[in-house]
């Protein structure tokens, strides 16, 4: 390990130091929420700044793009994803105190666990070999098990955490079996070497072994669990409903985007030559995931559970972008997927933050009845929730509209079976409008079952909601910069500019 290695990996290193600093500050000043939150936000700001600086330095050729013997890499995709991870964690920390303090739950531990999870996601985005990829995956998901059961006196939280842990552990083992098969049959852990070996197979120079097919099956199954694709989604509704609401918002965003980062590194960068093999599986997964997620969401009366199934449907939409690239590498399906991930992160976090705000008083559920009369009781909160729901539907001029449009256009441009998949996605988006708008109807056209006083919310919550709302609107009105960044990030792994 050299000094240059540390410089290249400095955003990851500072992320780890930030988590440690939060714990140390809490030991020195126990129970001081403002100090813990400030430490976390300052550390995240430094991490984000270093991410930009290192990314620009690598792009200019002043800093090596790889570290630790080539197992850690920095490219446009790494920079893009790391900035998104930092933003998601910062926003989640802002949403936490309003919910946790009335319940007597520790903010410092919450923030430290979140930052450790973020470092796992950052390691995935920078992985250049299978071993680092798996280590990053486990570093990302293990804190999620802790967070799901964070409210340990709540039986629902404990139940959701146990289900998440058991199924997550099985899926990690299955994924590891797949990695072992690929490693053994290609003779390397490095993505570029694996891709070269598989290229000779794809061209017919070397026979495609049954063992590699088994490895691909294991990998696909393991990844499908992590992104909650149907039929590997069973843990999602219970884990989301039982978890503390700020944790639910986090679980619906960062682990999902982190798992898609893993898909991009593994399936696009390493297993891209076998895209014809895994494309049919992705098409089937995308179809059943978006369809079943939306259909089951229609039947839900609990808004957290409804958004859990909605999150499953959004997984299906994002898989369409991956399928579009696999069908035609000249189509910018990966760029569309990355833009969708950013838009989804902010609008979904915002929606869960509103639910968390309404649950500031202990004992308040997330049923539809909780939202009745919210337009009169807390009009600003109702307007913000409406904005996030409209973006989740895909109504212009929100970010959600451009995100869905980008995925659909990429699928149409790719042609073939992707045209049918684009039609299915449009139909599903129309179906989803029903259950999202039902919440809006309750907020503005239903009377509250009893007199519920308006709540006073903290400045951190309002700041986080303002940031989520602003990004949801601005990315819809002025998407050019983010679209270019997403396209550049996609180009860094597919090796050719989009047409």
Tell me the pLDDT tens digit for each residue of 377-392. Answer: 889 999 999 999 999 9
Predicted confidence band at 496 (pLDDT cuts at 50, 70, 90)?
very low
Q: Is residue 83 predicted with pLDDT exceeding 90?
A: yes
Tens-digit pLDDT profile for residues 360-417? 776 677 778 888 888 888 899 999 999 999 999 999 899 999 999 999 999 999 888 9
Tens-digit pLDDT profile for residues 201-236? 766 656 667 878 888 888 888 888 888 888 877 777
Tens-digit pLDDT profile for residues 115-174? 999 999 999 999 988 899 999 999 999 998 888 888 877 777 788 788 888 888 888 898
pLDDT of residue 498: 37
pTM across the whole model: 0.93
Q: What is the mean pLDDT of residues 257-264?
A: 92
Q: Which long-range contacts (CB under 8 A, 24 or more apart) does 170-174 make?
A: 170/225, 171/221, 171/222, 171/225, 171/226, 171/232, 172/137, 172/138, 172/141, 172/222, 174/218, 174/221, 174/222, 174/225
Among 12-16, 55-59, 137-141, 467-471, the range scoring the smallest mean pLDDT is 55-59
Buried b (16+ CB within 10 A) or exposed e, 65-78: bbbbeebbbbbbbb
Domain range summary for the chain, segments of one domain joined by +: 3-494
Beta carbons within 8 Å of 499's beta carbon, 6+ residues apart: 330, 331, 332
Report whether 324 contacts 413 (CB < 8 A): yes
């Amino acid at each position: 390990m050299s000094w240059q290695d540390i410089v290249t990996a400095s955003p990851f290193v500072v992320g780890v130091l930030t988590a440690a600093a939060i714990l140390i500050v809490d030991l020195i000043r126990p129970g001081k929420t403002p100090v813990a939150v400030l430490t976390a936000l300052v550390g995240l700001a430094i991490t984000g700044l270093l991410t930009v600086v290192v990314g620009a330095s690598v792009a200019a050729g002043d800093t090596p793009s790889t570290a630790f013997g080539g197992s850690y890499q920095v490219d446009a995709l790494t920079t893009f994803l790391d900035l998104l991870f930092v933003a998601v964690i910062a926003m989640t920390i802002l949403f936490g105190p309003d919910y946790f303090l009335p319940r007597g739950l520790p903010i410092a531990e919450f923030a430290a666990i979140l930052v450790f999870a973020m470092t796992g996601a950052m390691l995935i985005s920078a992985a250049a070999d299978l071993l680092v990829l798996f280590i990053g995956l486990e570093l990302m998901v293990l804190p999620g098990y802790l967070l799901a059961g964070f409210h340990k006196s709540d039986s629902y939280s404990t139940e959701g955490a146990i289900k998440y842990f058991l199924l997550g552990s099985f899926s990690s083992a299955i994924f590891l079996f797949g990695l072992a098969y690929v490693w053994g049959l290609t003779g390397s852990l490095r993505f570029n070497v694996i891709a070269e070996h598989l290229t000779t197979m794809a061209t017919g120079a070397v026979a495609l072994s049954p063992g590699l097919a088994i490895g691909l099956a294991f990998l696909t199954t393991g990844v499908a669990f992590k992104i909650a694709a149907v039929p590997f989604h069973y843990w999602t509704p219970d884990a989301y409903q039982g978890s503390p609401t700020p944790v639910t918002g986090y679980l619906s965003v960062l682990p999902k985007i982190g798992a898609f980062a893993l898909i991009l590194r593994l399936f696009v960068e390493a297993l891209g030559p076998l895209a014809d093999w895994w494309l049919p599986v992705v098409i089937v997964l995308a179809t059943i995931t978006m369809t079943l997620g939306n259909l089951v969401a229609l039947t839900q009366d609990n808004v957290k559970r409804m958004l859990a199934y909605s999150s499953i449907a959004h997984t299906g939409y994002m898989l369409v972008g991956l399928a579009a690239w696999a069908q035609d590498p000249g189509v910018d399906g990966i760029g569309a997927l990355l833009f969708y991930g950013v838009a989804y992160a902010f609008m979904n976090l915002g929606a869960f933050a509103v639910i968390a705000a309404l649950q500031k008083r202990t004992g308040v559920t997330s049923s539809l009845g909780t939202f009745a009369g919210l337009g009169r009781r807390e009009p600003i909160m109702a307007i913000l929730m409406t904005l996030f729901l409209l973006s989740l539907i895909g109504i212009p001029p929100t970010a959600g509209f451009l995100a869905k449009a980008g995925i659909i256009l990429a699928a149409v441009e790719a042609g073939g079976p992707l045209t049918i998949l684009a039609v299915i996605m449009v139909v599903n988006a129309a179906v989803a409008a029903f259950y999202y708008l039902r919440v809006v109807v309750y907020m503005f056209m239903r009377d509250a079952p009893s007199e519920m006083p308006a709540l006073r919310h903290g400045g951190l919550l309002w700041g986080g909601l303002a940031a989520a709302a602003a990004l949801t609107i601005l990315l819809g009105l002025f998407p050019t910069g983010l679209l270019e960044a997403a396209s550049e990030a996609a180009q860094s792994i597919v090796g050719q500019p989009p047409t």
